[in-house]
Every structure is written in structure tokens, then in C-alpha cells.
Amino acid sequence: MIKDSSKILTKHQEAKAFIFDLDGTLADSMPVYYKVWKDILAQHNVMLTKELFDSMAGVSLTKCINFFNEQYSISLEENKVLEKVDMEVKSSLHLIHPIIPVCNLVHMYFEKIPMAIGTGSQKENAHLILQAIGLDQYFNIVVSAEDVANHKPSPDTFLKCSELMGIDPKYCQVFEDAKNGFDAALSAGMLLTDVTPYYKTSEGVNIY
């Protein structure tokens, strides 16, 4: 459950466009992903810690699979993992809530400046989550895992957003919650805002 903070997110004075990460930035969806990855890895006798999971926030599904296969000498199959993730997300949409301080910024600047989503999630899941938090009508540009070859911490996701919006990267303000996203935004030469000081979360105690 997300609670409002006394802090208020603001637009950088030089920003001409916004780029939002999705999971953990606009949507409190990370607990859902943590649960599904814990379940997947438990089947291979691997215990996923919250610290390791957090360190991989923003990393594409393919990169996660490759990491776990190499790190733990297991054989996760991408199609089966994707099927499990899709099923879990679709069955848990009612547990995903908007992160109010960040979503408020979307409402405030909708149709005033260009806005885009830059996420490491699969496009279908991204649209489902946007619909679940009531923002599916606010974004025409959603750059997801399928749209770039190199995912966060590579800058490609955010640079693609910038290109599609027609805004120079240096004037794009990126809102992110994870180090991989921070690194991607800075590598892209964009204005970075860490959203984590602006909200508190129960970290999905009702999901775990």
C-alpha cells in the first residue's frame, strides 16, 4: 500500500518532456514481480533475497534469466518464465496500486508537455498495469523490453522515448526508482529524479 509523503514531486525548470519508469515508479507492482521470481527460483532450490531482487530492478526478463542460470547453474527457459510472469501479473492486477505522488505529476502535466513510459517490462504487461492504475489513456508512447536491443542500465530505452517524443535528451526529465534506471538516465544525458524519497510502501506484505 502506498502512502503519500509530505514531499511533492516537481518539474525541473529545464525539462521539456517527462519519461517515467513504470514498475516501482508509477505502479506499486514490484511486490508482484518479487513473488513470481521467488516462486520460480524456489522450484530450482534457489532462495531469492529482497536485496538481490532490488538490485535487478529495471533489468529485462532475458537478462534476469541469463543471470540466474549462470549464477546458480540452473536452466530457466525464457518462454516458460515469461508465461509464468504473465499469468501472475494478470491474476494480481487488483493488488497493484498507483504511486500517488508520481501519478499526480502525470495528471498535472497531461497534454501540457510530452510524456512517455520507459520500462523493462513486456509491452502487454506494461499496458495492463497502466490500465490497472488508471493511466492507460495518458501515454501514447510506451517503450518496453521488445522495443530496444539493450536494456537498462543501457540508455537505449530512454533515448528511444526521447526520439519518439521529438525532444532532445538533455531536456527530458526521467523519473526512476532503481539504480539501473538511474544509470540509464544519466548515460542518456537526461535530467534524473529519484522518486523513492517521495513515497513509502508496505513492500507487498499482503502479497508475500
Would you state the pLDDT for residue 57?
84
Mean pLDDT of each 10-residue bin along the chain, 208 residues long: 63 98 94 92 94 87 92 95 91 93 96 97 94 97 95 96 98 96 97 91 46
The domain limits of the chain are 2-29+96-201, 30-93
Contact 17, 172 (CB under 8 A): yes
Would you state the pLDDT for residue 174?
98
Would you state the pLDDT for residue 66?
93
Q: How far apart are CA 45 and CA 55, in angstroms?
A: 20
Would you state the pLDDT for residue 207?
44
Contact 194, 176 (CB under 8 A): yes
Contacts of residue 91, defined as CB under 8 A and 6 or more positions apart, other chains included, come to: none
pLDDT of 27-68, one tens digit each?
999 899 899 999 999 999 999 999 999 888 878 888 899 999
Would you state the pLDDT for residue 64?
92
Q: Which overall architecture, per CATH, does domain 2-29+96-201 show? A: 3-Layer(aba) Sandwich (3.40)
